[in-house]
Amino acid sequence: MTRQLSAIAGFKPLYQQVKDLLLERLIGGYWKPGDLLPSEFQLAEELGVSQGTVRKALDEMTAGNLLVRRQGRGTYVAEHDQEHALFHFFKLTDRQGRPLVPQSRVLKIARGAARSSEAQRLQLAAEQEVIRITRVRSLAGRPAIFERIVLPAALFPGLDAKRDLPNTLYTLFARDYGITIGRAEERLSAVAAGAEAARHLALERDAPLLAIDRTALALNNHPVEWRLSLCDTRDQVYSVTLA
């Protein structure tokens, strides 16, 4: 499992090389969610680098929510349980900044050939099959988000046949398909509610909505989900902290 690391000028810094190698192990399933990693000393000895170099790589992966440090117990591969997945990727809060927990209701799951926009966003060949999920998410008992999700069918076999999908799909991706969402890219815009979104959110046609257009990427930086969430923000806000 050990790859040659190099300190030759012009190459990546050693800590980044260590991080890349550890990421390869996560992507390849060598370590699975919840697994305990070898100690910093063991990794440093195996890779022929200093403990400080290993520590810097682990620090970056911990900051990116890929690893979890447990005092006195060691470093573990992060498990995308429902709480972690929800509050890491769900950014709507009430107007006092308190986190909200959505409840999801699936309206439809269908499989079909990718449209050109779907193929482009998910980096698929023309007309490769995708799975489309349409659902409504409620906050404080009131429908607040109308959502369309597109997934590459080849990565999620049988998902369209599942009767019940969890509130946080990223937990399902990791548990049943070995796909961990490493990061997501979002674009926000203001849109007017179309007929279907207005009906499911109990709004007037053309009511203002916040559109969250998200591409979720696996640990190998390949897109595995395209999600468009249309949000009624009369009682909640999109909240992020910039450091």
CATH number (domain holding residue 30) = 1.10.10.10
165 burial level (CB within 10 Å; 0-12, 13-18, 19+): middle
Regarding whether 143 and 60 lie in a shared domain, the answer is no
Q: Which of 6-15, 110-119, 202-211, 222-231 has the lowest mean pLDDT?
A: 6-15
Regarding whether 137 and 70 lie in a shared domain, the answer is no
Instruction: Domain of residue 151: give its range.
Output: 82-238
| Overall average pLDDT of the 85-99 stretch | 77
**29 confidence band (pLDDT: 50, 70, 90):** confident
Report the number of distinct structural domains present in the chain. 2
User: What pLDDT is recorded for position 8?
Assistant: 46
Q: Give the integer Cα–Cα distance in Å for 94 and 113.
A: 38
Return the DSSP state at 234. Answer: S
3-class DSSP state of 42: helix
Regarding whether 86 and 20 lie in a shared domain, the answer is no
Q: Which of 24, 46, 77 is the last residue of a domain?
A: 77
Q: Give the integer Cα–Cα distance in Å for 62 and 209.
A: 35
Query: Does residue 65 register a pLDDT over 80?
Result: no
Query: Does residue 118 register a pLDDT over 90?
Result: yes
Regarding whether 226 and 122 lie in a shared domain, the answer is yes
Query: Does residue 223 register a pLDDT over 90?
Result: yes
How many alpha carbons fall within 13 Å on the CB side of residue 62?
13
Q: What is the largest CA-CA distance in the chain?
A: 64
Tokens of 40: 């910093």
pTM reported for the whole predicted model: 0.77
Regarding whether 173 and 54 lie in a shared domain, the answer is no
| Overall average pLDDT of the 149-176 stretch | 91
Regarding whether 119 and 36 lie in a shared domain, the answer is no
Return the DSSP state at 200. Answer: H
Average pLDDT, the chain: 88
